[in-house]
């Protein structure tokens, strides 16, 4: 059983609204980009706790027809994308467990960096783990009789786990939301009618017509029950050092979300402007790699005065398709998802803008296609610095060998990608585009400076394989289309 750590996830919780599972379900749609592999919802009517979970996109995992089987005025939901082989049904969140304090449901976004160490310790004391997720350790901490007796049991346990986490807990009568002392992942609080809503990104509020109140603070624990909202700072003051994941702004969050105090699209737009200022080159047209490079490309155009045009079109249907390996070779297209508009790039000097460059495979194909369509020059501009370090807090980068920038210098990449020039935004340029002070962000994937010490032994992929159960169903998941390319 391999205990994978890198997971994209989205959280949604509601208290105090009739049939709370319905707006949770709706809100999870707005968070689907954070996890397309599995989904689950757990509700409570104050008495019974009920759950529905499944593999796939939300409508498949939890069909809307199932919602009537989730009655109650409180509910939490989770969408998940795990990136290793262990996409097992038993790993689907929210987890529901039974222990001395009764039933508890847990949903987690982020990645813990001492989960394996704690797990080994607990296993030595007789604990049994039924999932291969890092999230499960929190339950064992909570169930530890020493902790059960404590006055602030949950706060204590949260202080025991290290790394990135936003947790939603559901008991029969309340919801608790907690965020790590660094605030690595986003989590916000809103109001819906007489009730309250918690979600990973504010877009989930927009979809259900909830109002944004504020973010859950780093190191804060918010309990929502019949007695209203109770806030508590569980983390020692000295531990609270904001280190928001800047990659959420660059790539992961939706452009229409507000996280870490500001709108994502606008950050990307500013990144594009800085990028243009730092790496201007004479050109005729700016082309965004859709949809990821679009916001930055708009900023690039504004700063450079160059016109934007649609040199690449994205096919929104093919993402959902499964291609057997044998058929894959038949696709000679640039990619199943993108197509060039030759008339836009022909005889032009093209600035190609994207938000990041990870493996470079698709980008290379797109560059080739743009050249084949007659572009005179192709200049690739990336609105983040080179990704060269692993993330231990929940963003799934490939291994170091697969990270293009970790193994190639700029001239090598230019040659490999077939571009005339490749330029990244500078680290300081990037940090100038966000509103908080630079030290309030985690930029470890660019700098290698990790704000939280990694306790578990990790390679550049967080991986603690124990020879064990493995599921080879991965191909199936392609059906649901990665919403993201690289």
Radius of gyration of the chain (CA): 23
The residue ranges of DSSP E strands in 311-410, in sequence order, are 312-314, 338-340, 349-354, 377-382
> Nearest 5 degrees, angle CA 230-CA 234-CA 235?
150
Q: How far is the CB of 384 from a second copy (least distance, A)?
A: 18
Q: Which is nearer to a second copy, 125 or 409 (CB)?
A: 125
| Three-state secondary structure of 413-430 | HHHHHCCCEEEECCHHHH
To a second copy, the closest distance from the beta carbon of 377 in angstroms equals 21
31 vs 405 by CB, closer to a second copy: 31
Closest distance between a second copy and the C-beta of residue 360, in Å?
Answer: 21
Residue 240 CB, shortest distance to a second copy, in Å, is 28
Is 166 designated active site? no
| Ramachandran class of 69: left when φ > 0, alpha when ψ lies in -120 to 50, beta otherwise | alpha
Q: Which residue has the tokens 């560059």?
A: 367
How far apart CA 381 and CA 280 sit, in angstroms, is 9
Q: Which residue, 203 or 413, is less far from a second copy as judged by CB?
A: 203
Q: Which is nearer to a second copy, 267 or 391 (CB)?
A: 267
Distance, in Å, from the CA atom of 436 to the CA atom of 215, rounded to the nearest integer, reads: 14
Distance CA 92, CA 87 (A): 8
30 versus 154: smaller Cβ distance to a second copy: 30
CA distance 335 to 312: 11
Q: How far is CA 247 from CA 293, 345, 387, in A?
A: 14, 30, 10
CB of 292 to a second copy, least distance (A): 12
Provide the minimum distance between the beta carbon of 416 and a second copy in the complex, in angstroms, as a whole number: 22
- Pick 235 or 259: Cβ nearer a second copy: 259
Please state whether beta strands 421-424 and 228-233 pair in parallel, antiparallel, or not at all (unpaired). unpaired
Beta bridge partners of 41: 52, 77
Which of the following is catalytic: 9, 157, 442, 445? 9
Q: Which two tokens stand for residue 223?
A: 């309990």
Tokens 């700072």 belong to residue:
233
List, by residue number, the catalytic residues.
9
């Amino acid at each position: 059983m391999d205990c994978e750590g890198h997971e994209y996830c989205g959280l949604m919780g509601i208290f105090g609204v009739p049939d709370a599972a319905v707006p949770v379900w709706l809100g999870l749609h707005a968070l689907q980009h954070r996890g397309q592999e599995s989904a689950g919802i757990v509700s409570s009517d104050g008495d019974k706790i009920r759950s529905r979970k499944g593999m796939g996109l939300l409508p498949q995992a939890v069909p809307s027809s199932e919602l009537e089987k989730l009655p109650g005025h409180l509910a939490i939901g989770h969408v998940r994308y795990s990136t290793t082989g262990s996409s097992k049904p038993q790993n689907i969140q929210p987890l529901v467990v039974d222990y001395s304090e009764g039933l508890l449901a847990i949903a987690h976004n982020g990645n813990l960096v001492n989960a394996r160490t704690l797990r080994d310790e607990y296993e030595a004391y007789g604990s049994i783990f039924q999932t291969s997720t890092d999230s499960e350790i929190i339950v064992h901490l909570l169930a530890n009789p020493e902790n059960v007796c404590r006055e602030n049991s949950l706060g204590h346990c949260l202080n025991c786990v290290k790394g990135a986490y936003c947790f939603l807990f559901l008991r029969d009568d309340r919801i608790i939301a907690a965020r790590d002392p660094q605030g690595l992942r986003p989590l916000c609080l809103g109001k819906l009618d007489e009730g309250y809503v918690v979600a990973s990104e504010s877009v989930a509020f927009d979809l259900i017509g909830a109002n944004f109140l504020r973010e859950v603070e780093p190191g804060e624990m918010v309990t929502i029950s019949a007695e209203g909202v109770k806030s508590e700072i569980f983390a020692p003051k000295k531990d609270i050092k904001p280190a928001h994941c800047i990659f959420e702004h660059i790539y992961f969050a939706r452009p229409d979300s507000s996280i870490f105090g500001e709108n994502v699209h606008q950050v990307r737009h500013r990144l594009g402007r800085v990028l243009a200022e730092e790496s201007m080159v004479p050109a005729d047209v700016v082309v965004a790699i859709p949809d990821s490079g679009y916001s930055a490309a708009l900023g690039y155009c504004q700063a450079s005065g160059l016109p934007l045009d649609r040199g690449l079109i994205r096919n929104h249907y093919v993402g959902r398709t499964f291609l057997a390996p044998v058929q894959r070779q038949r696709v000679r297209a640039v990619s199943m998802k993108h197509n060039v508009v030759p008339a836009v790039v022909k005889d032009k000097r093209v600035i190609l803008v994207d938000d990041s460059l990870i493996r470079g495979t698709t980008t290379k194909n797109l560059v080739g296609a743009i050249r084949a369509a007659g572009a005179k020059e192709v200049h690739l501009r990336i609105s983040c610095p080179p990704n060269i370090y692993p993330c231990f807090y929940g963003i799934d980068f490939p291994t170091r060998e697969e990270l293009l920038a970790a193994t190639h210098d700029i001239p090598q990449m230019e040659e490999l990608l077939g571009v005339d020039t490749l330029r990244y935004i500078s680290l300081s340029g990037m940090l100038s585009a966000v509103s908080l002070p630079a030290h309030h962000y985690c930029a470890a994937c660019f700098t290698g400076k990790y704000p939280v010490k990694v306790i578990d032994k990790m390679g550049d992929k967080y991986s603690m394989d124990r020879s064990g159960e493995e599921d080879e169903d991965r191909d199936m998941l392609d059906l649901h289309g990665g919403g993201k390319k690289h």
